[in-house]
Amino acid sequence: MYELKLIFWLLVTELKHFWEKIVKITELVLYRNLFCSFFCAVCLLCGAVSGKAQEFLTVSDVQTVIAQAVSASVSLNQKVTVAVTDHEGNVVGIFVMTGAPMSTQIRSVGANGQGLEGVSVPATFAAISKAGTASLFGTDGNAFTTRTAGFIIQEHFPPTIDFREGGPLYGVQFSSLACSDVAVAGLPLGLSGDPGGIPLYKNGKAVGGVGIEGDGLYTVDREPYDNDQPFEEIIAVSASRGYEPPALIRADNILVVGIRFPYSNVPTPLAPAQIPFSNLPGMVTRMIRPTQPSAFTPAVLNGVPGETSNRFPIIGGSNLSAAEVTQILGDAARTANNTRAGIRQPLGSNARVTMAVVDVDGKVLGIFRQQQAPVFGYDVAVQKARTSVFMSRPDAAVKLSTAGFGNFVSRATADSIGLNGATAFSDRGFGFLHRPFFPDGINGTAPGPFSTPIENWSPFNVGLQLDLIKAALLSPPMMCSASKRSIKIGMCTCTAISELKNGIQIFAGGIPLYRNGVLVGGIGISGDGIDQDDFIAAGGANSFAPPVDIRSDRLVIRNTRLPFLKFPTRPTL
């Protein structure tokens, strides 16, 4: 029966791609909208056939969310930009109120001129990134907001508590970028930690997100326990009325190492008289449309149901065969299916992640995501795999120096880190060197060699990770459109280093792969707790593990041993 369902899905997907090509040629917006509505109807039918309930945003849904946001804004005498994205981050509507600020300034610690601090960007960029963040994090098992995201990316976890390690997703803000060759729908500012992004649900199913920008500042809540209620968050929560997630899966019902995540500081949404959409004060600046056709196709790997993408079929690389890539992904999928989730409800659920394998040059050899894996992990899994491979290459130092980042190479050399292939760096091991305190979280210590010193540090100025992608992030012509990604014309890149097209990632879940002591590729896992990501990555890399004597946990830097992997307590179901 499943084979019939899969064949049906594949036929629908091929029809979708064929029609998209026709629409691109004709550029007839009417036909495009008719097709989107048709495809959503087909997806609903597929859901009925497979027994898997499907929910989507309709044009009416998007208009309702925008009308609720603007009505709340009018009641507060505020003027804002409203963005709505579907579950995979595609923009399905933008509304700019009359008089709303056209730009917003990036600022989190008050120091201009450091990294992105003080940079002005279009307000629509901020609104899209907020909505997209809430969309890409949300699943049927967890609902996160931009407030949640800001809580897990700071120099301490929880924020403001000294002598605690960095946030579990430290660095995730620089993923799902518009310049990425991997992201489904790149976000102009990456993932956002600025309160004002709320997920949207229908009948308990994640369908998208809404983002509000209007205060002129794009920031991160540096004091998450003060219970502030910024008007952007009030409006976003009000916009989501009728589209709330089930209470059980909200971030404030999820704990990591005993710490409860925040969801929103707005307990009760505003419910003013709703202004009809046609009478809203302002204008639509991005066409209102329904949920867009999915970038993913149902698939089964090693008995595990999930999804793949036609953009990244499983192929062989310079050292790994297609069969070996399939084995690595299959072993990771089997491990994930038996791993106790760290950030999903109900308790006892298995982890849902994206797993990616790359070649030694960063080329994607295959990606598989379990059903209901959060979409943000799609880009991040590749970042992790590419990072672990690149930093383990014999020419990593040379490539970084040639690209203009020799200062970080020099700092690493001063710590006796050669970046010459002598060490197999996991993402956890490399990320440990990319923190503003070394050892991680220990106040009063010097920064790691790839980080910014704490006196200059901010979530928008973290060191090498930002410096690699800063030019692309601030240069709109370098953004990569969905059409460019889909036809693989090679114009999508976030860095000047070809092996790191979508940038690097600096939290755990990536391992370099070896055969007989020779580097042959890398695996990256993303979508659950980082210890779970490490555990699943190890399961996938089991037959291609690096020699023990060159692992990063054999390095002692400043009298501190680096980590390699860390597994959760009682990891399996």
pLDDT in the model for residue 224 = 85
Q: Which range among 14-18, 292-296, 558-562 shows the weakest confidence by mean pLDDT?
A: 14-18
Q: Which range among 188-197, 346-355, 429-438, 477-486 shows the weakest confidence by mean pLDDT?
A: 477-486
- Tell me the C-alpha distance between 294 and 177, whole Å: 19
In a domain, 172, yes or no: no
Do 24 and 117 lie in one domain? The reply is: no
pLDDT in the model for residue 73 = 98
Phi, psi of 237 (to 5 degrees): -65, -40
Do 197 and 273 lie in one domain? The reply is: yes
Do 370 and 500 lie in one domain? The reply is: yes
Phi, psi of 82 (to 5 degrees): -115, 130
pLDDT in the model for residue 54 = 77
Phi, psi of 502 (to 5 degrees): -105, 20
Taking 90 as the threshold, does the pLDDT of residue 385 lie above it? yes
- Tell me the C-alpha distance between 157 and 181, whole Å: 31
CATH code of the domain containing 224: 3.30.450.150
pLDDT in the model for residue 47 = 43
- Tell me the C-alpha distance between 234 and 313, whole Å: 43
Quickly state the pLDDT bin for 489 (edges 50, 70, 90): low
Do 336 and 407 lie in one domain? The reply is: yes
Do 322 and 256 lie in one domain? The reply is: no
- Tell me the CA end-to-end span of the chain in Å, nearest whole number: 27
Do 236 and 338 lie in one domain? The reply is: no
282-303 pLDDT per residue, tens: 999 999 999 999 999 999 999 9
pLDDT in the model for residue 37 = 42
In a domain, 413, yes or no: yes
In a domain, 342, yes or no: yes
Count other Cβ atoms within 10 Å, centred on residue 232.
26
Average pLDDT along the chain: 91
pLDDT in the model for residue 480 = 72
In a domain, 235, yes or no: yes
Taking 70 as the threshold, does the pLDDT of residue 487 lie above it? no
Do 281 and 303 lie in one domain? The reply is: no
Contact criterion met (CB below 8 Å) for 177 and 494: yes
Do 63 and 46 lie in one domain? The reply is: no
Do 130 and 26 lie in one domain? The reply is: no
Do 281 and 302 lie in one domain? The reply is: no
Convert 300-367 into a string of H (helix), E (strand) and C (coil).
Answer: EECCEEEEECCCCCCCCCCCCCHHHHHHHHHHHHHHHHCEECCCCCCCCCECCCEEEEECCCCCEEEE
- Tell me the C-alpha distance between 32 and 337, whole Å: 38
pLDDT in the model for residue 483 = 64
Q: Which domain holds residue 537?
A: 297-561
Contact criterion met (CB below 8 Å) for 201 and 49: no
Q: What is the mean pLDDT of residues 273-290?
A: 97
- Tell me the C-alpha distance between 83 and 11, whole Å: 32
Do 440 and 512 lie in one domain? The reply is: yes
- Which run of H or of E encompasses 205? strand 205-213
Taking 70 as the threshold, does the pLDDT of residue 27 lie above it? no
In a domain, 394, yes or no: yes
Quickly state the pLDDT bin for 35 (edges 50, 70, 90): very low
Quickly state the pLDDT bin for 28 (edges 50, 70, 90): very low
Taking 80 as the threshold, does the pLDDT of residue 223 lie above it? yes
pLDDT in the model for residue 19 = 43
Greatest mean pLDDT range, 2-11, 13-22, 206-215, 221-230: 206-215
As a whole-number percent, the residues of the chain with pLDDT over 70 amount to 88
73-119 pLDDT per residue, tens: 999 999 999 999 999 999 999 999 999 999 999 999 876 679 999 99
Do 312 and 347 lie in one domain? The reply is: yes
pLDDT in the model for residue 492 = 85
